[in-house]
Amino acid sequence: MIFSKILIPVDDSKHSDSAVKYGISLAEISGTDIIILHCHRPVPTGLGEPNFQKAIDDATRESYAVLKKKTALLEGKDINYEEKIIGGSIAKSIKTVAETEGCDLIIMGSKGKSDLEGLVVGSVTHKVLHIAECPVLVIK
C-alpha cells in the first residue's frame, strides 16, 4: 500500500520521538507527506480574563516547544511536512485531523501498556486505535 499523507501525533516523550523517526523513514522511502500534530488539553472557558488568555498562551507556547523538538528530526531531510496544534479531547482531535487532512496512516508512539492498562487509564493510543477510520501504526 502506498501512503500519501501520514499523521504523527506527538507529545514530549521518547515514544513520540520513535514514532517521528519511523515516520521519517517511511516518508523517505515512499515520498509521503507528513503532518506533525501536537494536541493540548482544552483550556477551561470559565477562567475569566486575563487567566483564560494566559492559559491559552501557555498551552500554545508549550505546544510550539514540543513541535520544535520533533521537527528538528526532519532537518536536512527532503520531506514535505506541516505542523499543527489543536486543543481539545486528544484522541478525538487526532481522529478529526486525520479525516480532515485526508491522512491514510497515523503513526503513534506507545508506552507499551497492556490492553487492560490501556482500558483502565484510557491511553490516547488505545483510544485512537478504536476510533480512527484509517490504519494506526503503533511504535514502541
Could you read off the pLDDT of 44-96 as tens digits, one per residue?
777 677 877 888 888 888 999 999 999 999 988 999 999 999 988 899 999 99
The letter for the amino acid at 107 is I
Q: Tell me what the mean pLDDT of segment 6-33 comes to.
A: 93
Residue pair 87/59 in contact (Cβ under 8 Å)? The answer is yes
Percentages of the chain per state (helix, strand, coil), in multiples of 5? 50, 20, 30
What is the grid cell recorded at 107?
503513526
User: Nearest-5° angle of CA 75, CA 32, CA 23?
Assistant: 60
Which one has a higher pLDDT value, 95 or 140? 95
Give the pLDDT band (50/70/90) at residue 126. Answer: confident
What's the predicted TM-score (pTM) here? Answer: 0.87
Q: Tell me what the mean pLDDT of segment 109-137 comes to.
A: 74
pLDDT at residue 121, rounded to an integer: 44
Question: What DSSP designation does 74 have?
Answer: G
pLDDT at residue 118, rounded to an integer: 46
pLDDT at residue 23, rounded to an integer: 95
Give the pLDDT band (50/70/90) at residue 1. Answer: low
Query: DSSP letters along 11-38, please?
Result: -SSHHHHHHHHHHHHHHHHHT-EEEEEE
Give the pLDDT band (50/70/90) at residue 120. Answer: very low
What is the grid cell recorded at 105?
496512516
pLDDT at residue 122, rounded to an integer: 52
Neighbouring residues of 54: CB distance < 8 A, sequence distance ≥ 6: none
Residue pair 110/140 in contact (Cβ under 8 Å)? The answer is yes
b vs e for 7-43, b when ≥16 Cβ sit within 10 Å of the residue's Cβ?
Answer: bbbbbeeebbbbbbbbbbebbeeeebbbbbbbbbeeb
Which residue segments constitute the domains of the chain, with CATH numbers given?
5-139 (3.40.50.620)
CA–CA gap between residue 39 and residue 139 (Å, rounded):
18
